Structure 1
């Protein structure tokens, strides 16, 4: 009898040990999944980044140069440097950059990317390194006939498919004229010549675009500033350790003034790395006011 009890006790102990091992394995698997992207990057010694190369001043090639630069580009270069990684940029349009993060062709995407709830369902983001709001470029002489939000109905808005700004244009009743990774001058010239009527985009980008193409008949609409936005690098959804490492580097850059210096370099002295104090209405609030 004692022998039987001893055998049963031993079997019970083995079952407990197996159960414990099973629990640890599950936890280890979850940890492995969250660390996998970071470990692969460390093994390669390189961070592969999707970006457009056509969006001044976030990601672009200066005239006469084949070296990519811009605010997002230099922020990512500095993060990689602090993580002891090389960095490789692969250029494509915005939709392809996001798809490339999902299929593993690139590790992250960085291209003035707005952090939205919808995108957070599929992706992770670093802490924001840019704060801004949305504005609207129109023709200078007649504001493209837009004097209220209702006037946007039927207007043609230049934009890239799948961007949040194109979705806003559609919400406001405009028809989106889609471009495939076109440079800023193409968008702006089409507003100037009447092919399109407006461009909805980031305020700081639009301000710099106006300076760069001052001969165009375009301006930022004085009456429409809305939707405070935050922007950061886009990561795979489960890349928990990669996000942690990048956020640590970003926090160091914020504290030692590196982000401010990069911002002032690319945004005409403005510090876009700090959250603005001004509160602006959302698109939803503007649409409700219009009813």
Structure 2
């Protein structure tokens, strides 16, 4: 499920220059004049690069934002581990790729308003219809090494946990009947299932909202990351994101990648950003 694209050239390190866009009538500082340099890892359905433009859900949102700001996107394909560091060092303007908001990330980057929501869930065969943590008790469950919610999974009674290096490996074992379910990256799971109906698998988001299992059952926000010094750029990006929510364009983009359920576009649960990187008066956007 990992997509790799070959890019010509490398990102050049340049001094920040001011650009004035018709959309904002305010000077925007970018690495190169008239260019929005984007760090991404090429994992679909979040980001990709094809025929001279960004693809994927995050990629298409960024294409629309950049066009509105009269900026040309310059791709900077790299491993996920390097995307945040490239933003912090000022080598790129923005990073994208189904990155979830966390308080820790908000300390080191300026994070955009959400472009999408998500809840973790259960990838399973069509023979079952599990939606709650209790459904996983005494089951064989697979997930990906390094996922933050693994300690919470281990708390479930009788659950036998198998760790995998990739989502592909976990899904293969699910199809072979060696495990009963997979708890993977929600957009990646949904996208893979939409592209492979012959698998006869489905993804159900958790219906639980249990404070004892916040990482597994809480609401997540997919965001872009920018340098802490890029306040004008962040404001301009957020203004365009707000327009896309108002037009309900997010649903149209998501449909292309199999992301059609309300869970992606209607926030559920508490807003963890209040008092962290957003004021109490700020409300989450939605497209019912």
For this structure pair, what is the TM-score category when the shorter chain's length is used for normalisation?
A: 0.5 to 0.7
Candidates 220, 233, 243, aligned match of 1:242:
233
Candidates 84, 96, 104, aligned match of 1:98:
84
Question: How far is the alpha carbon of 1:102 from its aligned partner?
Answer: 2.0
Question: Which secondary structure state, in structure 2, belongs to the residue aligned with residue 167 of structure 1?
Answer: coil
Q: Do structure 1's residue 275 and structure 2's residue 266 form an aligned pair?
A: yes
Q: Distance in 1 between matches of 2:81 and 2:36?
A: 20
Question: How far is the alpha carbon of 1:260 from its aligned partner?
Answer: 3.9
Q: Do structure 1's residue 188 and structure 2's residue 203 form an aligned pair?
A: no
| Paired position in structure 1 for 2:218 | 227
Query: Structure 1 residues 263 and 238, CA, compared in 2 at 3 Å: closer, same or farther?
Result: same
Q: Deviations over 1:146-205 (max 9, x none)?
A: 9655547x954225x4xxxx11123322464334xxxx6455334434787754345454
Question: How far is the alpha carbon of 1:257 from its aligned partner?
Answer: 4.0
Query: Structure 1 residues 96 and 175, CA, compared in 2 at 3 Å: closer, same or farther?
Result: farther
Query: Structure 1 residues 196 and 237, CA, compared in 2 at 3 Å: closer, same or farther?
Result: farther
Q: Do structure 1's residue 59 and structure 2's residue 42 form an aligned pair?
A: no
1:134/1:202 contact within 8 Å kept: yes
Question: Which secondary structure state, in structure 1, belongs to the residue aligned with residue 99 of structure 2?
Answer: coil
Question: Which secondary structure state, in structure 2, belongs to the residue aligned with residue 238 of structure 1?
Answer: coil
Candidates 16, 41, 59, aligned match of 1:73:
59
| Paired position in structure 2 for 1:206 | 189
Q: Do structure 1's residue 41 and structure 2's residue 24 form an aligned pair?
A: no
| Bigger fraction of residues in strand | 2
Candidates 57, 66, 74, aligned match of 1:88:
74
Candidates 142, 149, 162, aligned match of 1:168:
149
Consecutive unaligned residues in structure 2, runs of 5 or more: 1-15, 20-26, 155-160, 209-216, 273-288
1:61/1:68 contact within 8 Å kept: yes
Q: Distance in 2 between matches of 1:177 and 1:67?
A: 32
Consecutive unaligned residues in structure 1, runs of 5 or more: 1-32, 283-291
Q: Distance in 2 between matches of 1:138 and 1:262?
A: 25
TM-score when scaled to structure 1? 0.63
| Bigger fraction of residues in helix | 1
Q: Do structure 1's residue 121 and structure 2's residue 107 form an aligned pair?
A: yes
Query: Structure 1 residues 239 and 42, CA, compared in 2 at 3 Å: closer, same or farther?
Result: same
Question: How far is the alpha carbon of 1:83 from its aligned partner?
Answer: 1.0
Q: Deviations over 1:106-129 (max 9, x none)?
A: 221111111112221222211111
Q: Which moved more, 1:229-238 or 1:187-196?
A: 187-196
1:133/1:229 contact within 8 Å kept: yes
Query: Structure 1 residues 67 and 47, CA, compared in 2 at 3 Å: closer, same or farther?
Result: closer
Q: Deviations over 1:78-121 (max 9, x none)?
A: 11111111012222332222222222332211111111122212
